[in-house]
Amino acid sequence: MVQRMISKLTVANFLTLCALGLTLQTPSPAFAVEKITLWPTVFFLRGQDLCQYQDAFGSRRNELVSQSMGHMKDLLMMGVSAVDAVYTLQKLDELIDKNKQMAMEGNGMDIMLEATLKAAINSVTRNFNPQNTRLEFANPGSTLELIQGLKNKKRFESENAVLLSKVKGFVWGTYSYSPGCKGDLLVTLHVVLPKGESVSFKDQGKPENVMGKLALQMVRHFQKTSFPTVVMMGDKMLVLVGAPGFSINQAPNSEIAHTACKMVNARLPNEDEYEYLSILGDWNGGVSLGHVFWALSNKRIFSPDTRNPSPVRTHAEVHYAEVNFYCVK
């Protein structure tokens, strides 16, 4: 009975299950990360062939006629008869259309895009090497089920209620042949999250490369430190609140930054907190210092590039430059 109900799962019911599965994972020693477990199948819809559209409407009728007349003139100058020249142009056009049609036949493009997206996400994540990864695709079943599905050329589906309860979102997208007519694809991806909100990404490139660029966008968006974030510093719990207006903001001086944090019932980080959070980095719940100035309390500035004799400076020593800041509790 349960399996029959799940097999008729609608998009609305799926999103409801996603919402019910929204829970925080076990915190790591550094910071608590919420895993985003995605449905194992990426759904792709094929859009308008923009290359063909451009061929049909990219030039005015007079331009198309002029191009054809130019080709005809070249053939006649080479000694080809008018009848043979017309026949040759027609056959060339038919051959081009036939090659395009052959390239677009079959149902393999969506499978290739899904597989390369998953591989690219894993590759990008390995390069960043975060302590805790956020994006993951649900395991659609046992090893035996996976092997059987691959033999039967089936997409990864499941009617397992336990699996469905862990899924927190799904990815769907569109692809179309780009207007440049050079074999590129224009691909959009939409990540639908538990409460129905959606984050979208878009890029263009060769079929074998475009998903790598989209994977980089996705990992940067979901893996980068979000605010608020809870970080453990030894036995102390630190909450990164962010700054009013932006996650990380700027102020003319440290006094204004101090006041801004006070208005959100928070404070500026101290020197040790800035250093530790920078060591964690942008992908592990921290914030990299970079090569900019940071606001400290007591009218001081943290200057990571000038550590001799100390990175703690007065505003005058950094020529009254604007300071970056975020707030903590």
pLDDT per residue as tens digits for the range 144-155: 766 676 676 666
List strands edge to edge, sheet with 323-325: 249-251, 323-325, 294-296, 300-302, 312-314
Amino acid at 224: K
pLDDT at residue 36 in the model = 87
How many whole angstroms separate alpha carbon 201 and alpha carbon 190? 7
pLDDT of residue 150: 65
For residues 141 and 166, the answer to whether their CB atoms sit within 8 Å is no
Q: Residue 84 above 50 pLDDT?
A: yes
C-alpha span between 211 and 223 (Å, rounded): 17
Question: What global pTM score does this model have?
Answer: 0.66
The band of 255, judged by pLDDT with boundaries at 50, 70 and 90, is very high
Quick check: 279 pLDDT over 60? Answer: yes
- Residues 15, 111: Cα–Cα separation, whole Å: 23
DSSP class of residue 31? Answer: B
- Non-local (6+) Cβ contacts of 193 within 8 A are 18, 36, 168, 169, 199
d(CA 170, CA 191): 6
Higher pLDDT, 130 or 27: 130
Residue with tokens 């035996």: 144
Tokens at 199, concatenated: 């984050």
pLDDT, residue 52, reads 62
Residue 239: count other Cβ atoms within 10 Å of its Cβ.
Answer: 14
277-288 average pLDDT score: 92
Place of tokens 């050079």: 182
pLDDT tens digits, one per residue of 40-76: 889 898 876 756 655 555 555 555 566 666 766 676 6
Q: What is the DSSP string of 25-73?
A: PPPPSSB----EEEPSSPEEEE---HHHHHHHHSS-HHHHHHHHHHHHH
Residues with Cβ within 8 Å of residue 203, at least 6 apart in sequence = 187, 210, 213, 214, 217
Quick: pLDDT tens for 87-130.
Answer: 666 766 665 566 556 545 555 788 889 999 999 999 998 888 78
Q: Which residues contact 273 (CB under 8 A, 6 or more apart)?
A: 233, 238, 328
